[in-house]
Amino acid sequence: MFQKILIANRGEIACRVIKTARRMGIGTVAIYSEADRHSLHVQQADEAICIGPPPSAQSYLVIDKIVDACRQTGADAVHPGYGFLSENATFAKRLAAEEIAFIGPPTGAIEAMGDKITSKQLAIEAGVNTIPGFTGALENAEHAVAVAREVGYPVMLKATAGGGGKGMRVVYNDDECRNGFARASSEARSSFGDDRVFLEKYIEQPRHIEIQILADRHGHVLYLHERECSLQRRHQKVIEEAPSPAIDNLVRLEMGRQAVALARAVNYESAGTVEFIADQERNFYFLEMNTRLQVEHPVTEFVTGLDLVEWMSRVAAGQPLAFTQADVEMRGSSIEARIYAEDPFRNFLPSIGRIVRYQPPDESDSVRVDSGVYEGGEVSMYYDPLMAKLITFGATREGAIAHMRDALNEFYIRGVTHNISFLAALLDHSRFREGHLSTNLIAEEYPNGFHPSDIVHDAPALLIAVASSIHRRYMDRAAQISGQLAGYERIVHDDWVVIMHGVRHAVHVVPVAAGHEVTYGSEKYVVLSDWQFGQPLFRGTVNGNSVCLQVERRNLIYRIEHWGAQVDLRVLTARAAELLDCMPEKQPADTSKMILSPMPGIVTSLAVTAGHKVNAGQELAVIEAMKMENVLRAERDATVAKVLVSIGDTLAVDQTIMEFE
């Protein structure tokens, strides 16, 4: 076994590899850019080496610097994680030349599967079901249109060297095809250094299902069952689970057989994933093969009991697999939710900055947290906004969902905006609960984006009861102030008015042992908790049922977050509630004649100048943030009065880019 592993990655996956390496008694080396100097993976590793400036192209993607770091530290193996150089055959070859083990597959498999055109041809030869389409590289936009017409719209444009949704566009007509080709090739060039694009027929209402495989150099190739990854937004996975609620044993067996056949065709070793797209009748077609560890690997680890990072390391060290296909069990159900630093209410724009508070849920046999950040750390604009992965396990799918909803309630993050409210809404959506999934679900259910009104808390009385109990605690404490004039001591009344969403709710609150009894309408709610003032999580019981809510007191407002809903409540006397109606409201500033940067990022393109007349929908600028290009378009016909930025400028969120007459 290796003595020391260098992790050629950052964030949560670097921390994940360190965790297994430490358990196996293997030393670890972290590499980091100047932006990651204080990152969690740097703190957790035994050694750490800076390899360059923040941009990935000058640090995490520079092979010479990583090889030099191996030499300096004496690392005898490299784990690439996912992303960056994980599927770069040149990197693997360079390590082999330096006699450093690559914890991954052979370079031949990486090259064959890294090119989506070649991989599809190999899949056909191996007897794997494939999607109809054009398997060559498209020459230009007009060639793409011609092929799309022949295949028939809708079609999907894909970067040959793509992954993670980058360089991918679904198009429905000629104009979209031309624009999609330009964007897909541009993203592919900037992300992978390869602008080749190919085309496939787009499967309507598809499900994304993948088979995890594991192979050694002794001829053993196994499949570790499937994962359902259909919940995606802009081709980026959001929630994954194992097993799939749509797959029966016969389909699972055939998917596994085809995945193993493809792996054998390229002499595969290590962990890998064969991705399929399936229609609603369970017909499935080869999508691609990822020759690396997947982001969603923990759900497979939960249901099989195997540590994939450990077995990748053992295989790379020449050890055979210690189990057979018959030994691979599938127990229970597991779900993973990706915690991103992004604002779901502003079209999921990335959020950067310092993490002021970070308190993940406690880990247990049913809850796991793979995190790459910590309280006081920062989310950088240079890298993927993934902060952590929350994984839960249950004996049934319903049990795994219940554990996930509870764990999301306990995940407390402040300082950067996050997507927990969106994840909670998805988990409670009827289509998700019933298992009626497709990669279009999010686009279909939230066609105009995700808004606070999309979150409906199904137990408002719970929020009212908890807010009333907390307020009574504050009032009882205030009444104990010293120096009160005899005969005029402060008296705390039992009757209050809770204002939620502008609606008044009368409550009666009286103390009981370890809490309060709240009468609301005709119901009584006994709220018991050992919660202390200032604690962000209110844990306790309401009528004997365990609850956990996030609570902040902001002057006269109690902000409560639960099941993804964020609700502001005021608890006032009846007279104070009347006077509140007389208070004026401050109107927001008028920004109708401006275009503001919706995210922190870099200006990569400006399509107009001052005096330019623009039409609604016309492209104005392109902002690149976290490796994705975001096109800003005019909302109405107007004339540009001023352009306040230049190409290459770094923008803050809400910074003015242009003004209109």
Average pLDDT over residues 591-610: 89
Q: Decide if 620 contacts 608 (C-beta within 8 A).
A: yes
For residue 606, give the H/E element and its range. strand 601-606
Domains 332-455 and 594-660 share a fold: no
What is the pLDDT, as a whole number, of residue 626? 67
Out of 3.50.50.60, 3.30.499.10, 3.30.465.10, 3.30.470.20, the CATH code matching 105-130+208-331 is: 3.30.470.20
545 forms beta bridges with 542
Instruction: Average the pLDDT over 45-70 and give the result.
Output: 97
Distance, CA of 162 to CA of 156 (rounded, Å): 13
Active-site hit among 288, 296, 301, 336? 288
Residue 272 tokens read as: 């890998």
> What's the pTM?
0.86
Q: Which residue has the tokens 């809850």?
A: 367
As a whole number, the mean pLDDT across the chain is 94
The C-alpha atoms of residue 42 and residue 29 are separated, in whole angstroms, by: 8
3-state secondary structure 208-234: EEEEEEEECCCCCEEEEEEEEEEEEEC
The residue-averaged pLDDT of 171-193 equals 91
Q: Are 4 and 26 in contact (CB under 8 A)?
A: yes
Mean pLDDT of 20-40: 98
Contacts of 440 (CB under 8 A, 6+ apart): 205, 206
- One CATH from 3.30.70.380, 3.40.50.880, 3.30.470.20, 3.40.50.12780 for 332-455: 3.30.470.20
* Residues 612-630, mean pLDDT to the nearest whole number: 85
Q: Give the residue extent of every domain in the chain.
A: 4-103, 105-130+208-331, 132-201, 332-455, 460-580, 594-660
- CA separation, residue 401 to residues 71, 424, 436 (Å): 46, 10, 15
Task: Provide the percentage of residues in the chain whose pLDDT is more than 70.
Answer: 99
Q: What is the pLDDT of residue 117?
A: 80
**CA torsion, ordered 67, 71, 75, 80, to nearest 10 deg:** -10
Tokens of 523: 């119901």
Would you say domain 132-201 falls under CATH 2.60.120.10? no
Residue 627 has pLDDT above 70, yes or no: no
Mean of pLDDT values over 618-633: 84
pLDDT the model gives residue 192: 82
b/e sequence 270-292, b meaning 16+ C-beta within 10 Å: bbbbbbbbbeeeeebbbbbbbbb
β-bridge mates for residue 550, sequence order: 537, 561
Bridge-based pairing state of the strands 4-7 and 77-79: parallel
In the structure, what pLDDT confidence band is assigned to residue 164 with cuts at 50, 70 and 90? low
CATH among 3.40.50.300, 1.10.10.10, 2.40.50.100, 3.30.70.260 for 594-660: 2.40.50.100
Q: Read off the pLDDT of residues 432-479 as tens digits, 9 standing for 90 and up.
A: 999 999 999 999 999 999 998 899 898 999 999 999 999 999 999 999
Active site residue 34: no
pLDDT interval class at 591 (50, 70, 90) = confident
Mean pLDDT of all residues in 196-200? 91
The CATH topology of domain 460-580 is Glycoprotein, Type 4 Pilin (3.30.700)
> How many Cβ atoms sit within 10 Å of the Cβ of residue 531?
19
Confidence at residue 585, expressed as pLDDT on a 0 to 100 scale: 82
The domain 4-103: what is its CATH number?
3.40.50.20
Q: What are the Cα distances from residue 348, in Å, to 407, 446, 573, 656?
A: 22, 12, 39, 19
pLDDT at 592 over 90: no
Reading the block at residue 12, the tokens are: 């949560």
Q: Burial of 482 by CB count in 10 Å (0-12 exposed, 13-18 middle, 19+ buried)?
A: exposed
pLDDT tens-place string over residues 220-260: 999 999 999 999 998 899 999 999 999 999 999 999 999 99
pLDDT tens by residue, 334-377: 999 999 999 999 889 888 889 999 999 999 999 999 999 999 99
β-sheet with 155-163: strand ranges across: 133-134, 197-201, 155-163, 166-171
